[in-house]
Amino acid sequence: MADGDFKFEKCLLKHFVRHQGWLPLCKKRAQSLRTNAGNSRPRLKYFTFCAAGALDVMMLEMEKVIRRSASDMFDTVFFFDVNDTFVAQTRQRVPGAVGFPEEFVKVVLADDTAEGGNIDTIATLEPPEEDKFTTKVVDKNRVLAIRRQFVQSFPFDVINLDLERYLFIPREELPGDLVNALRNVFEWQRRAGTTKDRKKYKIDGFSLMFTLRLGPKELGDDYQKLMKDYITANIANDASLEPLFKKRSADRSVTQFLRDDFEGFFKIAAPKTIMSLLHEQDWHVDPDHGVIAYEFERKTKKDPYRMLHVLMDVKRNSPSRERRGPGVESAAAKQAYATNVKKLFENDAIAVALQLKELGESVIADHLDKVIAHRKKLSGDQG
């Protein structure tokens, strides 16, 4: 993310996912905003990890999904990068966008309780006078200030978690930092937002794109048990899943499938983890869209790896948690969850390399060239 001309920027496999996956999903979300009667927010609010190249933002703006303000600002775009320098580089190409200069997981999981947890103000961040200028305190307060600004930015119409990292890290305590960070993000999506004219609003759905590496295979017993328990419980609760799993796993047991085909198993378990996190926070995946996944191999010289791009159209449970009795589930959400799990067992990830060949590389290459040319026109750079 640090390199202004990201080394995989011209990767046709990645742009296939942008063009065939991200773009249609975001177009649908933007259209729903613009046609919703009485909606005071016709402009889509977008959270991303775009890096300095900001190709996803440029594509969505070129395709009229993201709309700039009257003063040509990208003020409905929000993004993370690791420090002020890289945030500034991105803002040169996406002026007006709000950048958060820190590690995403570190910010989201920062402990705000010592300051009262008042995420709607930074006024409570003053430390005791004797500790005011220590490096540790200054850094802690800086992270908390970023965290509160980030939380105040919610909710988003599209969340693009293009992290390109592992979902589970073996050295982290179960369930892992990223999983706990996602819990917070999906909770904050239920917050009321504020429009430019200070009107409060809530969203009843959003689009989610999530990018991760397949693996690692060296996961400990605790993480392997977590994934196996997900699949085992699904099969136990719905007998119709057993033949689907047998077909998907080549008639292996859950344990054998994980042992013999880690990546095949992970392509079920990872989206299932995200679905479960959404369900915890009173969201569900729209069964009409389901979970769509794309996979391809990133061929690096040192350590080639496989990427998994997961796309979901997310809806708020109805009735919402605030309108249900304690312990009462949303029947519609429960049915949607069962339908989506079945589809997840039935449908493998889309093999991008094969689909790119069938579509024709020139189609994707031409579109990528147009996006890069559009960026050059807007920012005047040579990228």
Instruction: Give percent of the chain above pLDDT 90.
Output: 80
Query: Strand, coil or helix: what is 282?
Result: coil
Handedness of CA 178, 183, 184, 190 (dihedral sign): positive
pLDDT band of residue 345 (cuts 50, 70, 90) is very high
CA 136 – CA 126 distance, rounded (Å): 13
Who contacts 283 (Cβ-Cβ below 8 Å, separation ≥6)?
186, 189, 314, 315, 316, 317
Distance CA 159, CA 209 (A): 6
The angle subtended at Cα 283 by Cα 279 and Cα 286, nearest 5°, is: 105
Q: What is the pLDDT of residues 63-103, one digit of tens each?
A: 999 999 999 999 999 999 999 999 999 999 999 999 999 99
Amino acid at 5: D
- Is 80 exceeded by the pLDDT of residue 253? yes
| pLDDT digits 0-9 by tens, 304-337 | 899 999 999 999 999 999 999 998 999 999 999 9
**What integer is the mean pLDDT of 335-353?**
96
Contact 274, 182 (CB under 8 A): yes
In angstroms, the CA 344 to CA 265 distance is 11
Which segment of 10-14, 39-43, 365-369 scores lowest on mean pLDDT?
A: 39-43
In degrees and rounded to multiples of 5, residue 11 shows phi and psi of: -70, 120
Q: How far apart are CA 167 and CA 165, in angstroms?
A: 7
Residue 187, classified by CB atoms within 10 Å of its CB into exposed (0-12), middle (13-18) or buried (19+), is: middle
Question: Is-contact 293 309, C-beta < 8 A?
Answer: yes
12-17 mean pLDDT? 97
**155 cis-preceded (ω within 30 degrees of 0):** yes
93-141 pLDDT per residue, tens: 999 999 999 999 999 999 987 544 555 654 444 554 555 567 888 889 9
pLDDT of residue 196: 81
Pick the closest to residue 92 from 119, 135, 139, 58 (CA basis): 58
Alpha-carbon gap, residue 55 to 51, rounded angstroms: 8
Average pLDDT for residues 356-372, to the nearest whole number?
Answer: 97
Query: Phi-psi bin for 260: left (phi > 0), alpha (psi -120 to 50), beta?
Result: alpha
- CB neighbours (10 Å) of residue 271? 27
pLDDT of residue 235: 95
Q: Interhelix angle for 361-379 vs 55-62, to 10°? A: 90
Res 5: pLDDT: 46
pLDDT value of position 106 = 96
Mean pLDDT lowest among 152-166, 176-190, 193-207, 279-293: 193-207
Q: Which residue has the higher pLDDT, 7 or 212?
A: 212
Average pLDDT, the chain: 91
Residue 237 has pLDDT above 80, yes or no: yes
Which whole number is the average pLDDT over 327-354?
A: 95
| Contact present, 167 and 178 (Cβ < 8 Å) | yes
- Which residues are within 8 A (CB) of 72 and not within 5 positions of it... i.e. 6 or more apart? 95, 96
Q: Provide the percentage of residues in the chain whose pLDDT is more than 70.
A: 91
- Mean predicted confidence (pLDDT) in 163-190: 95
The pLDDT, as a whole number, for residue 304 is 86
pLDDT for 114 equals 54
**Confidence category of residue 1, pLDDT binned at 50, 70, 90:** very low
**pLDDT for the residue 217:** 87
Strand-pair partners of 297: 306
**DSSP string of 311-326?**
EEEEEE-SS-GGGS-T
pLDDT-derived band at 2, boundaries 50, 70, 90? very low
Question: What pairs with residue 205 in β-bridges?
Answer: 315
